[in-house]
A = this chain, B = another copy of it.
Amino acid sequence: MNAVEVTITEVGPRDGLQNTKSFMPTAAKKAWISAEAAAGVRSIEVCSFVPAKIIPQFVDAEEVLAYANAIPVLTPVVLVPNFKGCERALAAGARRVTVPVSVSEAHSMSNVRKTTAQAIEDFARMADLVRSQAKSKRAQLVGGCSTAFGCSLQGAVAEEDVVRVAAALQEAGADAISVADTVGYANPEQVKRLFRKVRKVIGEDFNIEAHFHNTRGLGLANALAAYEVGVRYFDSTLGGLGGCPWAPGASGNVVTEDLVFMFESMGVNTGIDISKLIEVRQTAFAAFPDAELYGHISKAGLPKGYHPGRAPP
């Protein structure tokens, strides 16, 4: 088997579920996570350690994480919104923790009632907490630059602000930087320019991840653009789960199976079995009718004579 060239993190169990109206049963979450892992997905964001009174969907975060931690070869990721969430996540055995920091001040205030600078200070405290863990079981910490491509509250977000936040998160102790198009404003030219600028400051060899939404249809084009400037880590959700993708302000994510299809068609190995992944889409939400799915490859089917990961003659 060839080496995996692009790592896709399925963020559906977190980003996909955080805005759904009904609760996805814990057993269904577990089945979804294990089925995707069996299809070759090696990185899954499984839950958020946000207070259950704010997002009841994640009341079972500890249980879901424990389940995911027991799946061989899977690296579960969890999202934490603040220090308390980080404490909970680490106590629950989190091995990889993403902390989003809004580059947009308006979004930061609206989302966590903190300025961006205050959120960076919080991140530094979380980094200290992580560093206090025994080295052998120390968690990886991902610093997320949210609303990096624009904000539905404040509009444009200056690229120098994104670069500054990314550098601050790295300086504070992040093991990787994620650059997120939280509201689906990014375009491919902007993607290339911004990732180049960020990488120039954090270093070409430092882990950098891309999180795109498909709100305005450019998700795959943006992923392609990021790939072209060297990004090799991408978030997406099965079936594009993440609220109604068609509504104004919707958060529809890039569709995992379409993203995998794009890369595999290009001959870029994701390590994921696209046929199995399409099956997971068909079964994972059977008991969760609230899921509003979209996407193309699952409906159109694979091309005739298609060989994943193999370029045509």
Listed in ascending order, the chain A residues whose CB lies under 8 Å from chain B are 150-156, 158-159, 183-185, 187-190, 214-218, 220-221, 223-225, 228, 245-250, 255, 258, 261-262, 265-268, 295-297, 299-301, 303-305, 311-313
Min CB distance A96 to B, Å, is 28
State the number of copies, please. 2
**Which chain B residue lies CB-closest to A194?**
B312
Tell me if B216 and A258 are in contact (CB < 8 A).
yes
Given A150-B304, A189-B267, A303-B216; A262-B221 close (CB under 8 Å): yes
Say whether B296 contacts A216, CB under 8 Å.
yes
B189 touches A304 (CB 8 A): no
Partner of A301 from the list B217, B248, B300 (CB cut-off 8 Å) is B248
Which residue of B has the minimal Cβ distance to A297? B216
| Interface of chain A: mostly helix, strand, loop or mixed | loop
Docked pose: A184 CA to B262 CA in angstroms: 12
The 4 closest A-B pairs by CB, nearest first: A155-B305, A217-B296, A187-B265, A189-B266
Known interface pairs A190-B311, A224-B225, A303-B155; A217-B255 also in contact (CB < 8 Å): yes
Contact of A300 among B184, B225, B265, B300 (CB under 8 A): B184
List 15 other contacts, CB 8 Å, given A187-B266, A245-B296. A152-B303, A152-B304, A153-B304, A183-B303, A189-B311, A217-B295, A217-B297, A221-B221, A221-B224, A221-B262, A224-B225, A246-B296, A246-B299, A248-B299, A249-B300
Question: Smallest CB-CB separation from A215: which chain B residue?
Answer: B300
- A152 smallest CB distance to B (angstroms): 6
Contact yes or no, A312 B190, CB < 8 A: yes
> Residue among A188, A268, A312 with the most chain B CB within 10 A?
A312
**Bound CA–CA A150/B313 (angstroms):** 11
> What residues on B are CB-neighbors of A188 within 8 Å?
224, 262, 266
Which of A159, A188, A220, A223 has the most chain B CB atoms inside 10 A of its CB? A188
The contact of A224 among B154, B224, B267, by CB within 8 Å, is: B224
